[in-house]
Structure formats: structure tokens, C-alpha cells
Amino acid sequence: MTAPTMLPVRYREASDDAPLDRLCELVTEVFGGPVGGCGGGAEGLSDDQRTALRALAAVVADELELRDSDAARLVARDRQRRLLRLAETVQDDLAPALPQPPGMTIAAYGRPAPGEPVGGDFYDAFPLAPGSWGLFLGDVTGKGPRAAALTALSRYTLRTTAILDRDPASTLRDLNTVLLSHATSGDDWLPLCTVAYAQVRPPTRAGGAARIGVACAGHPPPLVIRPGRLARRVECLGMVPGVRADPEYRPSEVDLNPGDALVFYTDGFTDAHRQHGYRLEIDGLRVGLSGLADTSATAIVDRLANLLGDGPEATRDDATALVLSVPATPAAG
């Protein structure tokens, strides 16, 4: 039996300049018997019959090529659909229910880019040693299944190494090692993401402060929110993981007193467009989160959603935030 993928090529050749005897063989093959005088071979064909048979071969070639291209599109579409289902499953796992450290509150907000059911942002919070918690927010470049695969790799690496490491900078260095190995292993995609990682020590007594160690790998530094004051950036610098072998990460320590909060965010917020087309940027985000009467994690998440607005052009990228707060001490009397 003639291989289906070879038929268009054979008929295309026959329609051009193949010997007429070969043309007759092909026509007889496809129709299961002699057609148009081919029963006696090419010698018995008139000029009109020869022209008609070459035209027939061209039509058959066109039809077979069309069928092959339609089949290829269907295969590609089915494969993309399967990959998308896989990516959505991974994404569901990458937006987990958040635990609440003692004496603290964690809340998250996420809005995928328009037209993108699967985003590239990820976060998690989890207990480490007694009295210590890990927390991270990351942003993977690109969209779709490949971004989801890199997201899963980054998340699981962070969770695993955070249990073993004593400080945030060490955790990010371990992530860098893993992503760098993938970047140089001959894979057809380059791991590239940004991450902010924090090690949290909750308050040990009522009215006490939480201590947070923070390190950033190419990620926007988090904002400290204090009642009645302008939101300020945490100074933590570090390059994107997976690019060079010996990156430097400079962690910072932050104390959160009752009523304070720490806001981690992706650049979907700072790149967001407000009314009249101007970008929110870091200064707009700082001002928008300053002077809040309620600095609880849930209230800050609501404020972040309001800052983005509801228009379809508000943000062209995923916008995700993770907020950690220490509840305010109730007023006496």
C-alpha cells in the first residue's frame, strides 16, 4: 500500500513532467482501474486526454495535500489542548490554599494577563523548622505549557531547598544552581524567572513583632506598609537565577510590628496602565498603598485590586501579590 504521506508528492510530480506511462499507473492505482483510456497505456491517449490526466493529477495532489495539512492542524490543536490541560492542572497546584502563621495573616491576589488562562506567576507559604516559615513569590517569563513547567520546577525546588537552608540567600543560590543546569543541558527552552523569597519568624508573644528575612533574585523588592506612613521598598538585590554560576544575593531583615504588612508583587502591577494611559510604576504603587486605615492582609489585597482597575487594558501581564501582615493590637478600653 502506498504510504499516505507520499501520495501528494507523487501526484504533484505526475502533474508536472512525469512520463505518461507513470501517470497512467498512478491514476489506475487511485481509482482501482483504468480511467480515461489508460487501460491501453499512454500510447493510446489523445492530447486532450493527456492534458486532462495531468490536470487530474494536479487536482488529486491538491486535495491530498489539503487533507494532510488539515490532519496536521488537528494533531497540533489536540496536542496544544492536552498541554493546556496539563498546564492548568499545574497552575491550580501553584496557587495553593495559604496557611496562616501564628499571630500573622497571609492573603494573595492574582489576575492573569488578558486572554491567558494560564499565568506565569507562582507563590507559596509553608512551615519550616518550629517557629519559622518560608514564603515566596515568583514570575516566569513567557506563557503557556512551557512556562507552567518552569513554574513547577522553580516552586518545588524552592520548597525543597528552603527546608535545608538557614537563610534566604542560600535558598536562592540553590535555585540558581538547578535552573542553570537546565539552561545548559540542551533543553529547547531557557529557564528564566524572578523570585522573592522570605523566611518568616512570627511574633512570639501578643503585641510582639515578626522578623522577616528577605532575598530577591531579579524580582521587584517588596514594600513595607506601616499605618500613617509612606510605603517603602525593602533593599534586597540579586540577579535573575539560572544565568550565571556565582550570583550575589543581598538579603535584608524587616521587623513587622502590629499593624504592619509586607507586600510582595510581580511587575504586572508596576507595568499596569491607569486612566489616561500612564503606568502605575513603583511610585504609584507606593502612594496607592500608603495611608491606609486598615492594613490587614485582606484589606491590602482589596486595595491592590482597585489600583489595577477593571478595564481590559489595565494590565497586559500577570499581576500577582502576596501580602503578609501582623494584625493591629486592639485599642485598650
* 125 phi and psi angles, rounded to 5 deg: -145, 140
Same domain, 67 and 130: no
Parent domain of 36:
4-86
Same domain, 193 and 118: yes
Residue 2: predicted pLDDT: 41
Specify the number of domains making up the chain.
2
Q: What number is the average pLDDT over the span 24-28? A: 60
> Is the pLDDT confidence value at 299 over 60?
yes
* Cβ-count burial 260-286 (b if 16+ within 10 Å, e if not): bbbbbbbbbbbebbbeeeeebebebbb
Same domain, 57 and 103: no
Q: Is residue 330 part of a domain?
A: no
Determine which of 26-35, 261-270, 299-308 has the lowest per-residue pLDDT on average.
26-35
Q: How far is CA 237 from the centre of its chain?
A: 23
> Of 41, 64, 86, which residue constitutes the final position of a domain?
86
Residue with cell 504588612: 261
Determine which of 17-31, 188-202, 267-281 has the lowest per-residue pLDDT on average.
17-31
Q: How far apart are CA 114 and CA 312, in angstroms?
A: 7
This prediction has a pTM of: 0.71
* Interval 113-161: pLDDT, tens: 776 656 678 899 999 988 999 999 999 887 666 677 788 888 889 999 9
Contact 104, 326 (CB under 8 A): yes
* Interval 221-274: pLDDT, tens: 999 999 988 999 999 989 999 888 889 999 999 999 999 999 999 998 888 876
CATH label of the domain that carries residue 233: 3.60.40.10
> Is the pLDDT confidence value at 11 over 60?
no
Classify burial at 223, counting beta carbons within 10 Å of its beta carbon; exposed 0-12, middle 13-18, buried 19 or more: buried
> Is the pLDDT confidence value at 197 over 70?
yes
Q: Is residue 200 part of a domain?
A: yes
* Interval 305-316: pLDDT, tens: 988 876 555 667
Nearest to 262 by CA among 293, 302, 291, 289: 289
Q: How far apart are CA 313 and CA 114, in angstroms?
A: 8
Q: Is residue 246 part of a domain?
A: yes
Q: How far is CA 145 from the centre of its chain?
A: 7
